[in-house]
Chain A
């Protein structure tokens, strides 16, 4: 099975993040940039499928030059090769434009299965898998906590608020996964060394036949008008339980009309 995994480089969600005052985009220059955590689960799932059914795993990333670090990190887990879409005109792209570019890149890769994380930790927009399926005219099985591959039939358990749905489709398809689906492997030393030699193909907008004015700020379908830091919360009363902690807690809740 020919599997493509979408990998996005994002600012570390465990550290403070900011927007750029210059152009209201995510500040990536000064951030500690890492693989979007949920994408590691997508990579793991792809590798498991390859191990069980054979095939090839390709990492696809759209991002600036520095995203190459995340691509190497992804490859060190075990995928065979990578495609890096980079073009200065992409800066400022909205989700709609991003899906246009990724769909064009996927068009060159002839994937049976596209796997991605359910959302990125920076935007948390959660729309990319369905946008890509819409553009490519293929199925989208999203929010998977379990994926079963039987020949060309894919079945997922899709996490919902009420429980789960069992959803099925034939390949080709896009599947997005939550972090409940598996436990991503750590890259081995051998994997890290091997990753340095794995092929990474670089593609520009020109290579993909996407016009520069359809992406970036020029092609954006929405814009950030402004932003401000939200005032930080400050702690209130903190008591040490002296045997009446529960009562004092409820007294506070009562004073706030919760009890």
Chain B
């Protein structure tokens, strides 16, 4: 059975991300599962246990300064070399900024098709995508080369399938052109212990109705009580209430959690684009006509500064 290459999405701080486990689960339907780890020295060893637990039969390790010191290009070069060598049945990457960027370069190098933002992959490599703000479901195929597909986080449930992978060290032959964009510094910003926005099973988001940056504590408190991530509408981000990397919507992140809580968010089409494939949606808004209520499974028309503290209290009581 041909290998399926899964490009691991992980970070030193967060470990192996959930989307990686989803990809490993999806890959089993397509062929023999091989994980590809890119990172600094020792990255593969750090992540190996988790990758084994989810069925990696082989781990390719591309490590070191040649990989880690530059923006994506060396990874694409190493991956292209690997694809030419092992002729995989498919290459899966995470539908994140970096995953898509590696996929794009790989597709050009191999003159190969690619599909981004898949929410499901069939055994024959056909991908399902949800487009136009969640309004249309599309099925697509790569018609030239191997299927290169990026998978959107939170698209499927990861299922463990323990394996004992062998680790193969890759020799990275980065070209001069691959080393033009140098990473000088990586800066972590506030997030604390909350789950990653796109991977969280619960997301609590605040909008313009939250009023100011300080009041976002209210959103954070509910998120923490529900074990969720914090999101923000574009209006809230543009008003400086919350940082841009937490923006949910057309020009921010697309999330698809089990539960999405919208606080003080009117539900403009731009916001709905980023959250309407959530399983369950609840909303609190003082405007009874707010479009968010057209999507909400449960909506409270009221003052979020009264409703949310009461809800928090009730959650604590029910524990």
Contact = CB atoms under 8 A, between A and B. Distances in A.
Interface of A: 13-19, 24, 37-38, 94-96, 99, 121-131, 133-135, 137-143, 145, 155, 158-170, 173, 178-180, 220-230, 233-241, 244-254, 256, 258-259
Interface of B: 11, 13-14, 71-73, 76, 96-97, 100-101, 103-105, 107-109, 111-117, 126, 130-145, 177, 180-189, 191, 196-198, 202, 226, 237, 244-245, 250-251, 258-259, 268-270, 273, 276, 280-282, 284, 288, 293-303, 306-315, 318
Contact of B298 (A15, A95, A249): A249
Given A220-B144, A238-B299, A253-B298, 17 more contacts: A19-B131, A96-B113, A126-B100, A140-B181, A161-B197, A162-B186, A163-B188, A178-B251, A229-B136, A229-B137, A241-B301, A241-B302, A241-B303, A249-B298, A249-B307, A249-B314, A258-B226
Given A252-B282, A258-B258, A221 B100 contact: no
B284 A249 contact: yes
Contacts of B184: 155, 165-168
A227 B141 CA distance: 12
Contacts of A140: 71-73, 101, 181
28 contacts: A13-B270, A18-B132, A19-B131, A37-B251, A96-B111, A122-B132, A124-B117, A126-B97, A127-B114, A135-B108, A140-B71, A145-B244, A163-B186, A163-B188, A166-B185, A167-B183, A167-B184, A225-B140, A227-B136, A234-B294, A237-B299, A238-B288, A239-B300, A241-B303, A249-B284, A250-B311, A253-B315, A256-B280
Given A238-B299, A239-B300, A141 B181 contact: yes
Contacts of B250: 13, 121
A259 B318 contact: yes
Contacts of B269: 13-15
Nearest to A17: B132
Given A140-B71, A241-B307, A248 B300 contact: yes
